[in-house]
A and B are shown apart, each in its own frame.
Chain A
């Protein structure tokens, strides 16, 4: 079973343009990552707060709604965040331009 889990992350990271994949658990600690440790910790810490804020935005506007996906497009890269109650999945990619 653990193999399958490893597999999913590995497959994700083999997509075209993907720089790294970080899986953060409910406490904000990165539990699986393909990037360096300190970068992963940075991503985890910063994005946890942002995800909470985004979730508040969505739910305050309509409590029956919920945040499913968050994409941050910057000049150099794109960060895709899939939040959940127990984990946060972060994928960083370099868009081909």
Chain B
């Protein structure tokens, strides 16, 4: 605190105040003024007054008339800073003073007029903010000192004068060795002798006391070195909500995945010695190749292509797809309904790979009805084709979504119920394979081996059957009459165990009246017919039906491994298909090579009804929504039968061009769409229209239709009624 307080009146640089002082004194501001220093250019500087011997020798401000003062140029209110009136009391103490804040109160009002503001509308704000040209990555310097400019030029001559300075001794080490003979040497010898005397000689025993002493203080010198600054740079990191989600998901994957292998016995050693090497499931996402070849083979790219193709195919097939999905409904109340059972074609699954490759099996995915698997093999005995499995999706009829090639022709395939990715395939050489269809390349989960699977002939039926909630096994039937069960064990083997073997039945059988074959010599061997189709009983868990190429249908059970429970002759030729009615579980329909479709009721030995077709009937299908409608394929004709209306001929027939043989027919679950497979490798999809409206009491309708058909055979009718009563009585 100085004795003199000099405060200017105004920031006018020309004012000077008078002081009363005897020496140079710098007048400081009053310490009570703790408010924020008001921004004022020369205010602070104007505060100080240099007074020498009473005379004010404060240097004047440098004023150049050419240069405009900043005070005059700056007109923005932004620079104004209203100081706080904190220590007003303190200020008032100094009576003669005028408050400084007053001086600082020079307010500069904004003088920006709207005309001065110019907004450039041509700037493209959508392009984003273009940052300044500063290198963001370069971290700012830790040192705020400006770089010293290197000497740009050296003078041409530098004169150097060298002078001798005073000698200053830094260190002196006197010598302790003397030449013998000199007086110093004598002294040293004396000293040595004395030393010997007191340490080793007689003077050894002398009184000694322990003493402490302070060590000499030695001088330390601190040295600092300057390490060079490591290079740093600024980096921007941005974490959005899903970045964090992804990171956590990846971290969860890093946890090691241990393959459970229960078949390996661990010895009683320390667990860390015998533990299997854990695989880290963590894909280090390297920078993938940027070239097309590498990208094109990745499954992600193929998936993207698949999606794009599906979308592209809707351009052509969108109407058909709408009909397929049932978005276009027929009005049941419309007046022009005629029951002509039209089959409107929707699309055809065909592509260049599958042309002229006969279809031997079709299976629909239980989880997703839009996906179907098609097996291509050979139809006629002498044909020579490779096997092909195509997975089609109804969303893209132009190209199959998966294609797997095999060497042997396929004969059957089936999707698994519990794992919808798994497809069991049966081959013409007896192999059974389980494919995983999620991969684009052929990936087999399990394959049957020769040591457990004795079949070498075509596997005609592949189907899945569940054992319990989680497991299922594959059931296959072969040309040699064997019915095998394939299970996937924990040791990753696909073991085949026999369930049954069908043998030829000789003699007279119930069922169809067939002429007995004349046997000249009775050869005592067991012959095994081919098991062409299998159907599980809808009600009884352990019973299944097998149709053979002798024309017999055997009723077998999983409880009996060596023989069948019952057999009856169904056709005069091989039995190609069997179906149970979805509405009446005791009604069985079988079709065979003798061109006949026969209806059977369980419990009755005689055939209820026969529907005749022109050629061998390869497949039949019950309509899931209309109990009396049956579709059949024989030769190149698709026939639609309605039991309610007439049974002596089909209600509608459609023939296919080009002499193809239709081998497969199936209804989709919705009941309106029909899939028909041919030997030329095509699968046609149709929409069934103009059918009678499905009745409410389906079973009753079917019952009536059958009874009406049996009106010419009263004994059967009686038998049927008895059977019904029996069933009613014991069903409760």
Contact = CB atoms under 8 A, between A and B. Distances in A.
Interface of A: 1-2, 4-5, 8-9, 11-12, 15-18, 23, 25-27, 29, 31-32, 56, 59-60, 63-64, 68-69, 71, 80, 82-87, 89, 91, 93, 95-96
B399 interface: yes
B312 A26 contact: no
Contact of B295 (A17, A63, A87): A87
Interface residues of B, number: 31
A25 B358 CA distance: 41
B242 A16 contact: no
B309 A89 contact: no
Contact of B290 (A9, A12, A26, A83): A26
Contacts of A87: 295, 300-301, 304
B144 to A, nearest CB: 40
A84 B312 contact: no
A64 B248 CA distance: 11
Contact of B292 (A5, A82, A95): A5
Contacts of B302: 8
B313 interface: yes
Given A84-B301, A87-B301, A29 B290 contact: yes
A96 B301 CA distance: 27
A17 B296 CA distance: 23
B561 interface: no
B267 interface: no
B307 A68 contact: yes
16 contacts: A11-B399, A12-B305, A15-B309, A15-B398, A31-B292, A32-B292, A56-B242, A59-B241, A63-B241, A69-B311, A82-B303, A83-B304, A86-B288, A87-B295, A87-B300, A91-B308
B292 A60 contact: no
A1 B292 CA distance: 11
A15 B301 CA distance: 18
Given A1-B293, A25-B290, A84 B300 contact: yes
Contacts of B291: 25, 31
Nearest to B305: A8
A37 to B, nearest CB: 15
B539 to A, nearest CB: 44
A28 to B, nearest CB: 10
Interface string B624-640: 00000000000000000
Nearest to B312: A15
B297 interface: yes
B45 interface: no
B18 interface: no
A12 B312 contact: yes
- Which 6 A-B pairs have CB atoms at the shortest separation, nearest pair first? A5-B296, A63-B245, A82-B304, A59-B242, A63-B242, A25-B290
A46 to B, nearest CB: 13
B315 interface: yes
Contacts of B293: 1-2, 5
A4 to B, nearest CB: 7
B290 A17 contact: no
Nearest to B288: A86
Contacts of A26: 288, 290
A5 B295 CA distance: 9
Interface string B272-308: 0000000000000000101111011110111111011
Contacts of B313: 15
Contacts of A59: 240-242, 245
B304 A86 contact: no
B316 interface: yes
A68 to B, nearest CB: 7
Nearest to B315: A17
Given A15-B313, A93-B312, 6 more contacts: A5-B292, A12-B312, A31-B292, A63-B241, A69-B311, A82-B305
B123 to A, nearest CB: 20
Contacts of B298: 86
Contact of A80 (B240, B292, B297, B308): B308
B295 A71 contact: no
A8 B312 CA distance: 14
Q: Which of B240, B297, B311, B313 has the most CB of A within 10 A?
A: B311
Contact of A16 (B288, B308, B315): B315
B295 A25 contact: yes
A16 to B, nearest CB: 5
A12 B295 contact: no
